[in-house]
Structure formats: structure tokens, C-alpha cells
Amino acid sequence: MSELVVRVYDVRFGDAVLVTIPDTANGQPVDRTILFDFGNALGTEGGQDEVLEPVIDDITARLGGKPLDLYVMTHEHLDHVQGLFHSAQVFNKTIQVQQAWLTGSADPKYYDNHPDAKKQKLAALALYDQAAVRLSALSSLSPFANILLANNDTKTTKKCVDFLRTQLTDPANVHYVDRTTELSTLQPASSAKITLWAPEENTADYYGRFKPIAKGLAIDDTFDFDDLDGLQRENAELPPPPAGVDAGAFYNLLDVRHGASATLLSIDQASNNTSVVMLIEWQGWKLLFAGDAEKRSWKTIDKLGLVEPVHFLKVSHHGSHTGMPPEDVLEKLLPLPAPGASKPRAAVSTFRDTYPGVPDEDTLIELAKRVDLTSTRDLAAGELCIEIPFSSDGPP
Amino acid sequence: MRVRLPQMIQDPTLLNRDVDRLVEDWTMLDEDHYLDGPITPRVAVVDLDPNTEKLEAGAVYLLPTGGQTLSRYDVDKNDVASSQFIQVSVFATVYRTMYMFEQQKTLGRKISWAFNGPQLLVVPRAGWLANAYYERRSHSLQFFSFMAGDTLVHTSLSRDIVAHETAHALIDGINPDLYDALDPQSLALHEGVADLTAMLMAFSSRRLRESILKNTQGSIETSTDFSSIGEQFGTAIDPTGKAGWLRNLLNEDVLNPDGDPADEPEEHELSQVISGVLYRFMCVLHDHFKKDVATRFGQTEFSASGRALYVAARQFERMVLRGLDYLPPGEVTFADFGRAILAADQASYDDETWRVWLRTAFAQRGIVKDERDLEVRTNFENEAVAKADLQGLVGSDWVAYTFAEANRELLGIPGDAQFEVLPRVVVDGRFESPAATMDRVTGDRNEAAGEPTPQAADGDGTGFAEPDRGGVPFRELLFKVRWSHVEDNPPDLGAGQRRVQTGTTLVIDWNAKRIRSLLGPLSLEDRSGARDTMLRRLVESGAIQVTETDPAARTKAAATGIDAVVTDGILRVRNTARLLHIVKELDE
């Protein structure tokens, strides 16, 4: 049997990870393929879409005319979802897909069954609108705010997600998954076992901070997504200082508070935490693909007792500090190796200086103590992806 | 024009009490003017909607009508969840804390803020976190809100938290170097005094005082209502008590006087040592005055406990808070604070009773090895001071610099050190002995717990709002010089050397033209190990990243707001006090 290969593509600021799993069908060796996300972040230096075409070409070539066995959309952020839509629209290039797994809360019916999560999601969306208006009033928008706006713009993202759920494959083969989803009939490779560590079925867990905001915005059980347009948009102008307050001090206060950017960051983190976190076990190897899960999700995963040492980690959230598991969880996942012992592998898809602190250099240094870490930003010119093989002999 | 302000004296969401008993009117002294908000020249409530950053309308200021003598704000004090009530209540607590520091028998002046501006901005609903902090950079106090289960908690309605954060702003105005200190005892002092301020604010509420003393048979040692700072808030955040807000002042925490300073605990835990010994001092004062009042009025000690608490609190304020003025600039320790308290008191009062108690208690807590370390010299003649042009020292930087340069030895300035003379401060205060305080409150029968408590003429009877009465006026000049001390730095922490600040505080009796007190740090060089430990903790926790870039030139500040910059091979750390105000996010 040949090797399982993980390929982490350089898509600048985004994710595209292809896993090829040796398997057998009717006694014959076959390759099973899983693609985790495909996209990059528009609106910033990291979002140059010409890098997507060579990636779709490479994936197509590797499929060798066969359909992809599984496409996984970890979560609904532009840097993870817009690649296939863009390839179809701009390059007129598509791939065939046997089945697609989309994070559970992307199900159009999801919020009908989860009223608490719905209220909190509505609050987050309302805040996004207000923050967008507020930020658009600023004379210069930082790249940070720009990418947060682009990544969390549900109107843009929705087109991409709709493409994934309707155009990739027969809609009957699109599954909205969470940790509790029964996967026994959906496993893409008989030689491997796939389990999900996240997300939780009820995403209210990740949107908890929006609970009081929903209350403050009077979002109740009768409120629906269509009603968002009816919410009064806040005045785009900066408010004048109240009488008796020094204008310089007042605007300094607004500037230091970074309220709108902080709001966007909260929305961004909540959505990241809805990421599909998938463990692939093959020939004794344990490979973990963490999407953009942030600390909140890691804590929940740990609380459920799911964390165990792995041989490979697709580093979460492009190497940010908030994407790292808390220290105690990290020790369970990637224990500090004894001196001289071989380390597990890890790969991070990242692009320098797009988000402040992403990647976080200290986080990468800490990871490097525990794993043999490879980053897409270290690829030589002309190299499309990091390629990490795992032998059928299993781990040493 | 005086104004009546309703103030929340305990958070209704966290205590099972009637709202009526949780709101108290407070009658402020005059400020120059009042505007909607509330806004005065020194404090402005800026109520930004936490979701939209839209500015909420401020509470409307109303002049008195129909024979009333007090102005007020248009607020329904039965609707404590309304934005207007929150605005006015937080404003009242901020001002009440300021007045506690500023009254003539304490610091005797209006405190200038540490930032460059006359107005402290107060944001009562700053966002959605279980947090509250003073931030010098934005000239503001920011009070956040959070959900405790299904209950919405506004930290701006917590008397403890508002008084605590206001105290940080005031301490920063009095001794700004504590904000940048690397010695954990300096930061712990910031925190400990802020906690004690919250305690004093609890004492200042007549309703709370009476209610608690009734339940404790007149003792402040048998209930945590006074001694636990932020207890209800801390419990709401985290029932396990790990969130950092649960601090009980009623403790027996000690330092090891023979231990290595590098092994001292972090600043929050450390703060309990200084606040613990001073809370014990408060208990001793209270017990003493209970007996005194009971004898004087033929009452039981229980009946005397309310008035005694008032007298004890005044004594405590004038001793402990005045110590802040006498502290030297730069890195200081608990022992330095003890010496400053003792110097301020000794310079004004002959009675040794409480100073003896404090020296013994500080030694017993391991803050100093020997009580004699706390001995200070006060009220002594000096030729240079006798000849000094005090008005010139106050008004002219050049005169002040010339005086310091000519008196380097007196001020302890190393021969090769470049120094800075800090803005001079004139204190117009009043001495008042405890006996005089007792006499002054003799007729104020509503101070006694357990007795009927009719409203006093000014409507609150707390004693804090009243104009300073009695006592003997005095004037003193605070003359402070500061310089850098360069010491070795662990090379793996960014540079081989680091710069810390130190200095001397000279207090001059304006009328007698003699030295009231002259204090520098007791053990600056011996504390370098403690500073090493603190720095290592900051670096290893990621709270600071050592750079060679001036923070002003960076496109973004460090996430914690703490700066660590290497210039010419020497490290300088600033804004370490930001550590005191950061509580974990609930939903990170």
C-alpha cells in the first residue's frame, strides 16, 4: 500500500488542504481524496485570486479525472469557501465531488431548529452591519478591519456557500455535519476512520457573547433574518462630542476603544469556532484538521474528553494565538517530546502581515517545540504546496 | 450650586435586597458647573452604546425649582436599569471617591489627573466583558457589562468596582510612576490602596454601614461585607473564584522578611499583604473608638459602633491616603509606603499610639525585618530650605531645578544622574486629631448604628459631602525629584541592562520653612531580583514583547498596552499597571 499524503496549498491568506488516502475498492487499490476548504481572503494583499488557478489545476490533475470523494467546508468564512465558486465563475474550471460535508450551521434549516443560536447569530449579523457602516465612515481603513469585513460579509460568502451546496454535487450528497452526526455510512475511505471533534450541534455555545447584545437589540423569537434590513442603520458619521467634553479627548477615546473592529473580531471568532474539526485515523496515524477553531472550541472539545495525541495537525486559524489550544489542551494534543525523540508533523497555511498577530510568531515558536512545523510562507518560488507523506507502515 | 445624586450602594442584580435600600442620595459639593451627562469640568460621563458606539443621551441637569435648594438630574431612581440612572450613579460614586481623597483633612487639594487633560471620561457601558479598568491612554474609566446566567450585570453599578477603578485614576494622578513600575510591590500597592478605597466607600454609605453593623453586632471583623472587595461581582463571573476579583482584606498574609525578593508572589496576591495589614489597622481603630464613644455617650459598644466607624475611617484616611503624597517617585515597596504613612502622621501629630501599632504590625507581616526600618525623621531644620523661595519653587521650573541641583546631596541625587523635578504640589490641609473629630460628630446622632436615623440637613448624613469643618489649617509643599537607575537585566530578557525610575520626595512646611519629611526608597537595589521575576513573567506570558521601536512610532500598540523598548542597549518598561485591570474574557 502506498502513502497517505497531505498537501497544504499556498493560497496566500486562506486554506486548501488535499488529503489522498490509499484505499481499496473491489480488491483494487484506489486513492480516496478529501479537500478541506478552498479559498482566500479578498480585499487584502493576501487575497490575490490568480494564485487559485494553479491550485485548482493541480487538484484536478491529481484527481486524474475521478471525482473528489469528499469536500469539507469547515466554516463559512470567505478565505475558506470562495475558491471553487471563483474557479467556476472566472476560470470556468470545476471539479466533480462525490459528497460534501458542510459545517452544521450552514444548513438553511439550521436556525429554524435552534432559536437561541438564531437570536445570537442575528445579533452578530446586526452588529456586522452597524460596524461596517461605522468603519466605512473612517477616512482610512486598516487592512485588519478590511479583512474582517470581507471575511464576515455574509452576502458575499452566501453566494459561495450556495454554490457548494447546489453546484458541487447532487444536493442529496450534501451533508451538514457536527460532532453528533452519524458518519458510519458516509465514510469516504474503508481504510480510514473519520471522526468529528467539533463543531457542537448547537452553535449557541460559540455565540454566547452575543446573548446580551440580542437582548439589547430587542431580537426576540419573532425576529427573522429578513428583519435585519429593517433594523435602523446607525449614522455613519462619528458622533460629535457631548457639550462640555474636549473633542480631542473624546475622539481619542473612540480611537483607542476600537469598538467596531472589536465587534468584528468577536463575530469572526464566533464563526471560526463553528469549524469542523476532523480526525482521520489511518494505519495507526492520527491526523487532525482543525479548520479555524479557536480557544472556545478547543475548550469544549477538551471538556468532552476527545483530545488525544496526534501525529499531524493542520494548525488552526493560520497560526494565530487565539487558534492555539489552551496550554493544558495543547499538552494533551501535542505533548512536549523527550529530547531526541521524533516529533509529530504540523503544517500552517498563512500569509505574512495580513491580520495583525496572524500568524503569531510566539505561537509558531511554541508549536515548533512540539512538532516539526512547516509553513506555506516558507515554500520556494514555484512550489504549490507543502507535501507531507505518511507511510503505510504506520507511526514509528 | 449643590446637586443631589442617587447612587447605587450595592448591586441589585447580585444581592437579594430591595432596590429601595440599595440606592442612596448623595449631595455633592459645588463644582464649577454641571451639564447633561452628567458632565463637569473634571468628570464627564460618556455613555457610548456598547453595540453601536452611538452616543446615548446623557441625563438632563435640572436647576432647583419651587423653593428647592438643590439641583438634580432627571433620573428615576426606582429604574436602576435605565441608562440615565446608570450614568448618574456611576458619576456620583466617582465623585464621592474623589472627594474622599481630596477633602482638606486628607490630601487637601484637587487631584490633577496623570494624563494631559482636565477631564476624566467615564464610560459606564463600555462593552461586553466581565471587566472594568482605568486607562491612562484614553483618559478614561471603562466599565463593562456581562451576563451572569440570565442576569445582566453592569459593573458601573457596583460601588466597589467604581470606587476601586476611580482610586486607580487618583493614585495615578498622585504618583504616576507606580503605573510604570517593575517592582511587583509597587503594582500591589496600586491595587491594595484601590481595594482599601472600595472599603472606605462601603463605610461611607450610611445605609450599608447601619445594615451591616446591625447584623454583626457592631463589628467589622465578623462580616465580609466590608472586607471582601468585589465579592458579588467575582462570584458572578466565576464561582470557583479564579477570576481574580475575590480578595478578602481580612487576612493574615505575610511576607518572608528573609526571603529572596525574586520569590515573591504576583501583584494581586501580594496586594493582600498591604491591604490586609491596613484593614487590620482599621479594625483596631474601630475597636478603640467604639470604646471611646461608648464611654463618652454612655452607650453600649454596639450602639457606638456606627459613630466609631465614622471617626475611625477619618483617622484611617488621613493617615493612609496622605502616605501617597509622601511616597518617593519611582519604584517603591510596602516598606516605603509604611514609612510615608508614618512620616505624614508624625509630621502632624504627637501621639505615637497608632504609629507604634503600625510599625509593629508591618514587622509582624514581614514587610520589614525590623521595626526600626520604619523610623523616619520629621520636622527638622535645613538651611537651604529655610532660605528657599517657596513661591519661586512652585511657579518656576528654573528655580526648582536650580534648587535641586544645588542640593543634590540633600535630595540623594547621584552625582552623575540627570534628574527631573516633577510638578510641585501645594497642599492646603487641616490637621484634626481623633478627639477633635469625635467632638465634631458629637451632635450627629444619626451616625450610631441601631438608632433611628433621621435625614441630616444636607440629605445624606454620610459625612463625606459636608464641607471640611474644624481642624487647624496648614500648608505644605511637595517637592519631588526623579532620576533613572540603570541596573543589570537578565540578558535573555531583551537587553543586558534596564532602566527603572527612582527619586526623593521632600515635604516642606510652608509656614515654618523647615522639612516635614524627606524620603527616598528604602531598598531600591535589593529589589532587583523581584523586578527580574516580574519582567520574566511578563515576557514568558506574552504580556510584553521587547522591541527596539518607540511605541509612538508603531502602527499598533502591544495587545496588553504594556511597552518594553530597548534604547542604546537599555530596556525600559512602561504601563505595567495595565496588568492590574485585565480580567479574562468570558468567552474567549
What pLDDT is stored for residue A141 in this prediction?
A: 54
Q: What torsion, rounded to 10 degrees, do the Cα atoms A279, A280, A284, A286 define?
A: -40
Residues of chain B positioned with their CB less than 8 A from the CB of A134 = 52-53
Residues of chain A positioned with their CB less than 8 A from the CB of B242 = none
Q: Flag if A130 and B52 touch (Cβ within 8 Å).
A: yes
Percent of all residues in chain B with a pLDDT value above 70, rounded to a whole number: 84
Q: Is A68 a member of any domain?
A: yes
Is residue A142 scored above 80 in pLDDT? no
| Helix, strand and coil in chain B, % to nearest 5 | 40, 20, 40
Q: Flag if B119 and A249 touch (Cβ within 8 Å).
A: yes
Name B503's Cβ contacts closer than 8 Å, sequence gap at least 6: B177, B328, B329, B330, B419, B422, B480, B481, B482, B483, B520
**Which amino acid is present at A337?**
P
What pLDDT is stored for residue A268 in this prediction?
A: 81
- Residue scoring higher pLDDT (A255 or B243): A255
Average pLDDT, chain A: 86
**DSSP helix/strand/coil, B587:** coil
Total tally of structural domains belonging to chain B: 1
Residues of chain B positioned with their CB less than 8 A from the CB of A239 = 53-55
* Segment A96-114 mean pLDDT: 93
What pLDDT is stored for residue B262 in this prediction?
A: 85
What pLDDT is stored for residue A192 in this prediction?
A: 97
Q: Which CATH number do you get for residue B161?
A: 3.10.170.10
The C-alpha cell at B233 is: 461581582
Q: Flag if A239 and B55 touch (Cβ within 8 Å).
A: yes
Q: Flag if B119 and A252 touch (Cβ within 8 Å).
A: no
Q: Which residue of A has its CA nearest to B57?
A: A242
The C-alpha cell at B35 is: 451639564
Of B37, B46, B50, Cβ closest to residue A253? B46
Total tally of structural domains belonging to chain A: 1
Number of residues that make up chain B: 588
The β-bridge relationship of strands A312-314 and B145-148 is unpaired
Strands (E), chain A: 4-9, 14-25, 28-40, 68-73, 97-103, 174-177, 192-198, 277-282, 285-289, 312-314, 345-348, 372-375, 385-390
ipTM above 0.85, yes or no: no
From the CB of residue A136, how many other CB atoms can be counted at a distance below 10 Å? 12
- Residue scoring higher pLDDT (B84 or B68): B84
From the CB of residue A364, how many other CB atoms can be counted at a distance below 10 Å? 17
Distance CA B183, CA B266 (A): 10
Is residue A252 scored above 70 in pLDDT? yes
Could you write out the DSSP letters of every residue in A70-105?
Answer: EEEE-SS-HHHHHHHHHIIIII-----EEEEEEEGG
Q: Is A395 a member of any domain?
A: no
Q: Is A333 a member of any domain?
A: yes
Q: Is A369 a member of any domain?
A: yes
Q: HSE on the CB side for A373, CA within 13 Å?
A: 20
B423-469 residue pLDDT tens: 999 999 888 888 887 777 655 444 433 332 322 223 333 333 345 56
- Residue scoring higher pLDDT (A203 or B467): A203
Q: Is B301 a member of any domain?
A: no
Highest mean predicted confidence (pLDDT) among A217-221, B11-15, B250-254: B250-254
- Residue scoring higher pLDDT (A17 or B440): A17
Q: Is B248 a member of any domain?
A: no
Distance CA B153, CA B144 (A): 9
pTM above 0.80, yes or no: no
**Which amino acid is present at B257?**
P
Residues of chain A positioned with their CB less than 8 A from the CB of B48 = 254, 257, 259
What pLDDT is stored for residue B587 in this prediction?
A: 40
What pLDDT is stored for residue B475 in this prediction?
A: 95
Distance CA A127, CA A292 (A): 21
B143-156 residue pLDDT tens: 988 777 667 778 89
| DSSP conformational letter for B39 | B
Among candidates B158, B82, B167, B155, which has minimal Cα distance to B123?
B155
Is residue B79 scored above 90 in pLDDT? no
Determine contact, residues A94/A87, Cβ cutoff 8 Å: yes
Percent of all residues in chain A with a pLDDT value above 90, rounded to a whole number: 55
Q: Is A396 a member of any domain?
A: no
Distance CA A390, CA B84 (A): 64
Backbone angles phi, psi at B384, to 5 degrees: -65, -40
Is residue B243 scored above 50 in pLDDT? no
| DSSP conformational letter for B467 | P
Q: Which CATH number do you get for residue A364?
A: 3.60.15.10
Range(s) of the domain holding residue B115: 1-174
From the CB of residue A65, how many other CB atoms can be counted at a distance below 10 Å? 7
* Segment B45-65 mean pLDDT: 86
Q: Flag if A212 and B145 touch (Cβ within 8 Å).
A: yes
A225-248 residue pLDDT tens: 776 666 644 444 567 889 999 888
Lowest model confidence (mean pLDDT) among A56-65, B240-249, B492-501: B240-249
Q: Is B161 a member of any domain?
A: yes
Q: Is A288 a member of any domain?
A: yes
Is residue B323 scored above 60 in pLDDT? yes
Residues of chain A positioned with their CB less than 8 A from the CB of B144 = none
B366-405 residue pLDDT tens: 999 999 999 999 999 999 999 999 999 999 999 999 999 9
Lowest model confidence (mean pLDDT) among A8-22, A160-174, A209-223, B562-576: A209-223
Alpha-carbon torsion (B25, B26, B28, B33), positive or negative: negative
Q: Is B72 a member of any domain?
A: yes
pLDDT classification of A353: cutoffs 50, 70, 90: low
B507-516 residue pLDDT tens: 999 999 999 9
Q: Is B36 a member of any domain?
A: yes
For chain B, which residues lie within 8 Å of any Cβ of chain A, measuring from their own Cβ? 35-37, 39-41, 44, 46, 48, 50-55, 58, 117-119, 121, 123, 126-128, 135, 137-140, 142, 145-147, 152, 542, 545, 556, 559, 586-588
Cα separation values, B331 from B12, B383, B522, Å: 40, 29, 10
A284-299 residue pLDDT tens: 999 999 999 998 899 9
Cα separation values, B453 from A30, A234, B307, Å: 89, 49, 12
| Helix, strand and coil in chain A, % to nearest 5 | 40, 20, 40
Distance CA B255, CA B265 (A): 9
Lowest model confidence (mean pLDDT) among A2-16, B131-145, B514-528: B131-145
> H-helix or E-strand containing B503?
strand B497-509
List strands edge to edge, sheet with A68-73: A174-177, A97-103, A68-73, A28-40, A14-25, A4-9, A385-390
Of A213, A295, A362, Cβ closest to residue B51? A213
Determine contact, residues A301/A199, Cβ cutoff 8 Å: no
Burial class (CB in 10 A: 0-12, 13-18, 19+), B342: buried
Among candidates A323, A175, A248, A242, which has minimal Cα distance to B57?
A242
What pLDDT is stored for residue A2 in this prediction?
A: 85
Q: Is A33 a member of any domain?
A: yes
Q: Flag if B146 and A212 touch (Cβ within 8 Å).
A: yes
